[in-house]
Structure 1
Amino acid sequence: MKFLKDGARAVVTATWVGIIVNAFLTILKAVGGVLSGSRALIADALHSASDIVGSIVVLLAVKIANRPPDREHPYGHGKAENVASLIVAILLIIVGAEVAYSSGKIFFGERPVPPGKLALAIIIISILIKEVLFHYKYRLGKKYNSTALITEAWHHRSDSLSSLAALIGIGAAILGGKFNIPWLLYGDAVAGLAVSLIVVKVGYSLAKESSLVIMEKVLDDESVEPYIHTACSIDGVRRVDTIHARTHGSYLVIDLKLGINPDLSIEEGHRIGKRVKKQLMEKHSEVEDVLVHLNPYNDKN
């Protein structure tokens, strides 16, 4: 699809950057969590590992989405990105549930041990790196209208927020051990639970958004106004009777019914329809295809 092809290389590069960085962070957090005894840091390592799986899914989706339309997929393969977004979102929810389970066990077991200061340093590094990745991928996703890359960006932001929660919890647990405040020792486990809630919430929001697109939800009235204005600017179009614009990954497909003079010949009406389609696709780069139906215009209607 033309709107994604221009930035396909940038999207793939950004995804590979995410995979490499997340592999580094997963190893760093896992080793640091074991050495420092931080449950929150180990939970955060699982979150980073899920980012790697999500990025691989995005790579496959971008490859499929760039395939040209065929007999079985006349509107193209753009929704592969939305399917990828849904998979990443479900993955987030599963990871969040696992984190909640592993963190919650501490409340029914032995007295928690405060983590070492190494955990704090690793968490701070993770937050900084994840915020940079979020802004990098989010801007690219918006620039090239890549839903999968935008979902990946929010995956990084959720990791950053979960790391922030872990930072607070680890800090509280360290203070609890230093000043002998028993209830603060549970800060690390509480942070793990907070991480899980953040991850599940982000996953649910992304899954809901992707599902709406997959189920053919059309754009609202305000969003289609520019397309109506463009269609009505074509000579011969008396009115846009109906318009449905739906998202297919990084591009739009528009179905519209136009009211034209009923006295025009079929050939004249066909020319009007072709001009409307051409103008919509040239003026709005996100529009990949337009299906036009012509209705006889009646002043009484």
Structure 2
Amino acid sequence: MEEKDVRYQKVQFGAWVGIIGNIILALIKGIVGFLANSRALIADAVHSASDVVGSVAVLIGVRAAKLPPDKDHPYGHGKAESVAAIIVAVLLFIVGVEIAINAFKSFFEPVVVPKVIAIYAVVFSIVVKEIMFRYKYNLGKKYKSDALMTDAWHHRSDVFSSIAALIGIGASIIGGHLGVGWLTYGDPVAGIFVALLIVKMAWKLGKESIHNTLDHVLHEEDTVELRRIVDSVEGVKSIDALHAREHGYYVIIDIKIAVDPHMSVEKAHAVGKEVKEKLMEEKHVHDVLVHINPYAG
């Protein structure tokens, strides 16, 4: 099986893990939150539900990125994953704002102290979400998937939001038992804190994903090995320019090399062909465009 097919299967499996896991968590937290009268837990359930949509977007992006180059997309569809990551970030931002608005409204309504069962649901969510984050983050890093890594951080934001919910619910329950009025507002306060975490995470992920879609090129320190490979080709006098453009999980290289000006066109072409073949041996290199210049000395 080709490496790109293995990558597709692994990343696709990771997306499905997110979808199934989030559906289960959203249902558990939503039902328990409703029964336990916990705004923070219901907000956390909405967060998990948004993760389902995010994971579906990741799945669509991964499938699109796997499509081979065509007439309209000669460089492939690798950026589809970054586009999916942007969709997830936008969704995350909208959810965060909505949760904040709902939590703020609760300050103007009678306070209802959550039931203890909400605590168990939150703890369960924290454990499951942390496991999902570590699994999907490591998988995304290994296979250079922007969408999967963005979705992994979506899980991590859920961990933070669940911790905030845990603190808020706990404070509200304690306040209700001890008769401390201001502590009973811990649940809605936690809801607002969760919302702020979500919005901040969405902004960060969206910014990074947009950066990756704008033909970002590898920095010079990241192309040292590529340059070494080119310099090892007999006939290459110098590298006039090398731009490795990121297209999702792979790169497209535009390179200008200088050869002996008295070399025949056929030999110069052979040098350029060898440069391309050697660079294409690198697993993250999808295509190479070589331009030949006469060496000026």
TM-score range, shorter chain: over 0.9
2:37 maps to what in 1?
37
**Residue 22 (structure 2) pairs with residue 22 (structure 1):** yes
Measure, in 1, the Cα distance between the counterparts of 2:198 and 2:209. Answer: 17
1:13 maps to what in 2?
13
**Residue 291 (structure 2) pairs with residue 293 (structure 1):** yes
Q: How big is each residue's C-alpha offset from its partner over 1:164-184, in whole Å with a ceiling of 9 and x where there is no partner? A: 111111111111111122221
1:168 maps to what in 2?
167
Measure, in 1, the Cα distance between the counterparts of 2:18 and 2:145. Answer: 15
Amino acid at match of 1:285: K
Q: Secondary structure at the match of 2:223?
A: helix
Measure, in 1, the Cα distance between the counterparts of 2:206 and 2:190. Answer: 24
Q: Secondary structure at the match of 1:237?
A: coil
Measure, in 1, the Cα distance between the counterparts of 2:221 and 2:185. Answer: 49
Amino acid at match of 1:62: V
CA deviation after TM superposition for structure 1 residue 218, in Å: 1.2
Structure 1 residues 226-235 or 81-90, which shifts more? 226-235
Structure 1 residues 110-119 or 38-47, which shifts more? 110-119
Q: Which sections of structure 2, spanning at least 5 residues, go unmatched?
A: none
**Alignment: residue pair count:** 296
Structure 1 residues 168-177 or 45-54, which shifts more? 168-177
2:266 maps to what in 1?
267
1:239 maps to what in 2?
238
Measure, in 1, the Cα distance between the counterparts of 2:130 and 2:105. Answer: 30
Amino acid at match of 1:55: S
Q: How big is each residue's C-alpha offset from its partner over 1:35-76, in whole Å with a ceiling of 9 and x where there is no partner? A: 111111011011100011011111111111111111111001
CA deviation after TM superposition for structure 1 residue 111, in Å: 3.8
Q: Secondary structure at the match of 1:68?
A: coil
**Contact persistence 1:36–1:117 (CA under 8 A):** yes
Listed as ranges, the matches of 1:1-301 within 5 Å are: 4-107=4-107, 109-282=108-281, 284-299=282-297
Measure, in 2, the Cα distance between the counterparts of 1:263 and 1:200. Answer: 61
Measure, in 2, the Cα distance between the counterparts of 1:119 and 1:296. Answer: 72
Q: Secondary structure at the match of 1:6?
A: helix
Runs of 4 or more above 3 Å deviation: none
Q: How big is each residue's C-alpha offset from its partner over 1:216-247, in whole Å with a ceiling of 9 and x where there is no partner? A: 12121211222112111111112211111111
**Contact persistence 1:238–1:260 (CA under 8 A):** yes
Q: How big is each residue's C-alpha offset from its partner over 1:177-212, in whole Å with a ceiling of 9 and x where there is no partner? A: 111222211111111111111111111111111111
Q: Secondary structure at the match of 2:254?
A: strand
**Contact persistence 1:172–1:185 (CA under 8 A):** yes
Q: Secondary structure at the match of 1:289?
A: strand
* TM-score in terms of structure 2 length: 0.96
Tell me the percent identity: 51
Amino acid at match of 2:23: A
Measure, in 1, the Cα distance between the counterparts of 2:148 and 2:131. Answer: 14
Measure, in 2, the Cα distance between the counterparts of 1:40 and 1:247. Answer: 40
CA deviation after TM superposition for structure 1 residue 276, in Å: 0.9
Measure, in 1, the Cα distance between the counterparts of 2:160 and 2:272. Answer: 50
Measure, in 1, the Cα distance between the counterparts of 2:54 and 2:25. Answer: 15
Q: Which sections of structure 1, spanning at least 5 residues, go unmatched?
A: none
* TM-score in terms of structure 1 length: 0.95
CA deviation after TM superposition for structure 1 residue 4, in Å: 3.4
Q: Secondary structure at the match of 2:263?
A: coil
**Contact persistence 1:61–1:84 (CA under 8 A):** yes
CA deviation after TM superposition for structure 1 residue 110, in Å: 2.6
CA deviation after TM superposition for structure 1 residue 153, in Å: 0.9
Q: Secondary structure at the match of 1:7?
A: helix
